[in-house]
Amino acid sequence: MLKKQGVGATRGLQTLCFISLLLACIILSTGMGYIEISPLQVIKVVISRITGASDLLQGMDSVFPYVIMDVRLPRILTSAIVGAGLSVAGVIFQGILLNPLADPYTLGISAGAAFGASIALLLDVMFIGCYTVPLFAFIGAVLTLLAVMFISSSGGRTSSNNLILSGIIVAAILSAGISFIKYVADEQVSIIIFWLMGSFGSKSWTDVFLTFLFVLTGFVICLFFARDLNIMILGDRSAGSLGIETNRLRIVLLVTASLITAGCVSVSGIIGFVGLVIPHLMRFFVGPDNRKLLPASALVGAILLLAADTITRAVLPTEIPVGVLTALIGGPFFCYIFRKRRILKTYG
Amino acid sequence: MDRKSLFEIRHINFCYEKTVAIEGLSLDIEPCKFYGIVGPNGCGKTTLLDLLVRNKAPGSGAIRYSGRELREYNRRELAREIALVPQDFYINFPFTVREIVLMGRHPYIPRFAPPSAKDIGIVDEIMERMELDGFKEKYVTELSGGEKQRVVFARAFAQDTPVLLLDEGTSNMDIQHTLHTLNMAAESVRLKKRTVIAALHNLNLAAAFCDNVIFMKTGRIVSEGKLDDALTEKNIKDVFQVDSRVYFDRYSNSKQVVFRKI
């Protein structure tokens, strides 16, 4: 029992470390960019904005509060929240599909979002201003999920293999559709391509709150079912005999993780590899127990996507789409941990 | 109503799409006995066990457990009554052996609560009796097929239910562990008043361990009864289409079945 408490304390300490690291990253990266701002000044500006104490801003360049609060923080927070969301969705998809190679996009969610966004961009619809494209992307993702679930279900049950297969088929059809849209798009084609590669440029506080709402709600639901998801790895027959409503659990988590993904993707565009690599990486450190894996993945996902976005924004001479960067770093890194894990003979 | 029966199965049918798996099957299972289900591949053994643990619902007919309709039970409540050792034991994520066995306590542990001292005690005792102590912190993904199956078996024992269903639960174990595991199951029938229903392929294992034996063929029960009455050359010929000799063996103190090259 003593040992158990020790484990709990270590886990608490670990979470605390990750949270501090995330906060440090947010403050540091807010200071980085074309205009250099020291971390202390960043903290002062944020505190003065929250408390309304304007004397903290004395002797500071008057553009700093604007740069921090209106330009950088929304972008930085959005990237962190999306990083957390994609990682949580990755953990859930790998868990319910019983497949360590699944990611938030396995079921064609990204293709659906991309198709929706492409249509909005092609037709140049703007009925709710700059939120038209995210809305179309979100609708595309949700419709894709419904289609995949409809195709894969038989007699009210859905199996992992059917889900993956249907996801691949639907994604393939949608990809063809996107290619066609690009072909007919003419001058809009570069905007479509840029959206598909993912970016956090010019995000607002509305984006922050929207993604936060999706990711936090989804995260709480996933954490609620974390232990049931652990049992699911025994297979449906065993999980059923242990008191899990396997079919219902699968659908609840599938919809939750897909909505998290749709919320993230519609704001940021397609950012690959985060949802695949982070759960693997964290399983390596904290083990496969979803009760530990979910919070750890969320925090580390937030840190890493934030770091990647800061690299493209403030470190590289010209900004490249963050989705390209995550794939360029994440891909080889995934190969590395995949090989290392095979040598250790632990799968997952 | 005969209150002696633990399970009362009445005229149940079950189909997969258009294939009939169980057809008009009726059966009474008495408590505190070791039942063996034997029959050729695809005769409906697995489906019958799935119906008993309510992983599947019969298309028609009724199953009562302890005098109550099976479908009226709450899923969690049922998990404290009936445990299942499935045929497949494919686990894709690196949980430790101890974590897997502890999953057997899932129906007893409230959400968000850590396992109680009693849960830990039961898990440790089962691991010791299943000779899994040495594997405790090993990853289940690193084990061989037979070892994994022992872990899955231990998980079902940890569930500590009045009914234990075995679906070829020992198919990948060596003879030492097969005998050890089945002995543990048989012992719990005597000491803990457990009811065991085991689908078995090995007729001699069935003969050595079972009190009652159920012969199945194409979704129906061909013959059912006390081992001595039901395990006959005629039934074996009827169900498997093979010739055999059944005799009483002094060494095993049970009936044994022998076959020969055709």
Q: In this structure, is residue A155 part of a structural domain? A: yes
- A206, B41 Cβ separation under 8 angstroms: no
- Name the residue with higher pLDDT: B134 or A90: A90
Separation between Cα atoms, residue A326 and residue A321, nearest integer Å: 9
- B237, B224 Cβ separation under 8 angstroms: no
Q: Which domain holds residue A288?
A: 80-344
Chain B residues whose C-beta sits inside 8 Å of any chain A C-beta: 17, 50, 53-55, 75-80, 82-84, 86, 88-96, 99-100, 103-104, 106-107, 111, 114, 117, 120, 139, 141-142, 152, 155-156, 159, 165
B16 membership: H or E segment, kind and range: strand B7-16
- Provide the token pair at B230: 């039901």
Pairing of strands B19-29, B212-217: unpaired
**Are the Cβ atoms of B95 and A287 closer than 8 angstroms?**
yes
Q: In this structure, is residue A111 part of a structural domain? A: yes
Respond yes or no on whether ipTM tops 0.85. yes
Nearest residue of A to residue B139, measured between CA atoms: A346
- B52, B82 Cβ separation under 8 angstroms: yes
Taking contacts as CB-CB distances below 8 angstroms, the residues of chain B near A345 are 141-142
pLDDT on residue A155: 65
How would you list the strands of the sheet with B19-29, edge to edge? B19-29, B7-16, B60-65, B68-69
CB atoms within 10 A of CB B79: 25
Taking contacts as CB-CB distances below 8 angstroms, the residues of chain B near A99 are 92
Which residues lie across from B249 on neighbouring strands? B254
Query: Nearest-CA distance from B110 to chain A in Å?
Result: 10
**Exposure b/e, B219-250, CB count within 10 A at least 16 = b:** bbbbbbeebeebbbeebbeebbeeebebeeee
Instruction: Report which DSSP code applies to B29.
Output: E
Nearest residue of B to residue A289, measured between CA atoms: B95
Nearest residue of B to residue A157, measured between CA atoms: B56
- Strand (E) positions, chain A? 153-154, 157-158
Q: In this structure, is residue A140 part of a structural domain? A: yes
**Are the Cβ atoms of A237 and B99 closer than 8 angstroms?**
no
Measured between alpha carbons, how far is residue A295 from residues A3, A215, A219, A282, B194 in Å?
22, 12, 9, 10, 41
Find all residues with CB under 8 Å of A291, minimum gap 6, and list them.
Answer: A223, A226, A227, A230
Query: Nearest-CA distance from A96 to chain B in Å?
Result: 11
Q: In this structure, is residue A25 part of a structural domain? A: no
Q: In this structure, is residue A28 part of a structural domain? A: no
**Are the Cβ atoms of B55 and A288 closer than 8 angstroms?**
no
Taking contacts as CB-CB distances below 8 angstroms, the residues of chain A near B78 are 243
- A128, A233 Cβ separation under 8 angstroms: no
Taking contacts as CB-CB distances below 8 angstroms, the residues of chain A near B54 are 240
Site from A98, A241, A247, A345 to mutate, B interface, most B CB atoms within 10 angstroms: A241
What does the pLDDT look like over B172-215, one tens digit per residue? 899 999 999 999 999 999 999 999 999 999 999 999 999 999 99
- B20, B219 Cβ separation under 8 angstroms: yes
Size of the A and B interface in Cβ pairs below 8 Å: 95
The per-residue pLDDT of chain A, averaged, comes to: 88
Q: In this structure, is residue A98 part of a structural domain? A: yes
CA–chain centroid gap for A217, Å, is: 14
**Are the Cβ atoms of A98 and B83 closer than 8 angstroms?**
no
The runs of H, that is alpha helices, within A97-159 are 109-123, 132-152
* Burial of A137 (C-beta count, 10 Å sphere; 0-12/13-18/19+): buried
- B34, B198 Cβ separation under 8 angstroms: yes
Structural domains counted in chain A? 1
B234 membership: H or E segment, kind and range: helix B233-240
* CB nearest to B83's CB, from A99, A241, A283: A241
CB atoms within 10 A of CB B100: 27
Taking contacts as CB-CB distances below 8 angstroms, the residues of chain A near B90 are 235
Q: In this structure, is residue A151 part of a structural domain? A: yes
* CB nearest to A346's CB, from B50, B82, B141: B141
Mean pLDDT by 10 residues, chain A (348 residues): 54 88 94 90 90 81 88 95 97 90 86 91 82 90 92 76 90 94 87 87 90 96 96 93 93 92 90 91 90 95 95 88 88 81 52
- Residue A179, CA atoms < 13 Å, CB-side half-sphere: 6
**Are the Cβ atoms of A231 and B139 closer than 8 angstroms?**
no
**Are the Cβ atoms of A347 and B155 closer than 8 angstroms?**
no
pLDDT on residue A1: 36
Residue indicated by tokens 């759960």: A279
Determine the length of chain B: 262
**Are the Cβ atoms of B86 and A238 closer than 8 angstroms?**
yes
pLDDT on residue A160: 81
What's the first-to-final CA gap in chain A, in angstroms? Answer: 28
Q: Which of B102, B224, B93 is nearest to B159 (CA)?
A: B102
Q: At what angle do helices A274-286 and A73-96 cross, to 10 degrees?
A: 70
Determine the length of chain A: 348
Residue indicated by tokens 């699944």: A102
Nearest residue of A to residue B74, measured between CA atoms: A243
Instruction: Report which DSSP code applies to B89.
Output: -
**Are the Cβ atoms of A235 and B50 closer than 8 angstroms?**
no
Measured between alpha carbons, how far is residue B63 from residues A155, A335, B13 in Å?
21, 52, 11
Taking contacts as CB-CB distances below 8 angstroms, the residues of chain A near B96 are 287
Q: At what angle do helices A246-268 and A73-96 cross, to 10 degrees?
A: 150
- B103, B93 Cβ separation under 8 angstroms: no
- B165, B177 Cβ separation under 8 angstroms: no
Pairing of strands B195-199, B34-38: parallel
**Amino acid symbol at B105:** R
Nearest residue of A to residue B17, measured between CA atoms: A155
- The Cα angle at residue A93 between residues A103 and A345, in degrees rounded to 5: 75
Q: How confident is the model at residue B56 (pLDDT cuts 50, 70, 90)?
A: very high
Query: Nearest-CA distance from A12 to chain B in Å?
Result: 15
CATH number of the domain at A174, please. Answer: 1.10.3470.10
- A256, A270 Cβ separation under 8 angstroms: no
- Provide the token pair at A164: 């993956």
SS3 content of chain A, % helix, strand, coil (to 5): 80, 0, 20
What does the pLDDT look like over B10-41, one tens digit per residue? 999 999 888 899 999 999 999 999 999 999 99
Q: Which of A25, A21, A24, A84 is nearest to A310 (CA)?
A: A25
Which residues lie across from B191 on neighbouring strands? none
**Are the Cβ atoms of A235 and B88 closer than 8 angstroms?**
yes
Site from A159, A242, A245 to mutate, B interface, most B CB atoms within 10 angstroms: A242
Q: In this structure, is residue A244 part of a structural domain? A: yes
| Three-state SS at A260 | helix
- A239, A231 Cβ separation under 8 angstroms: yes
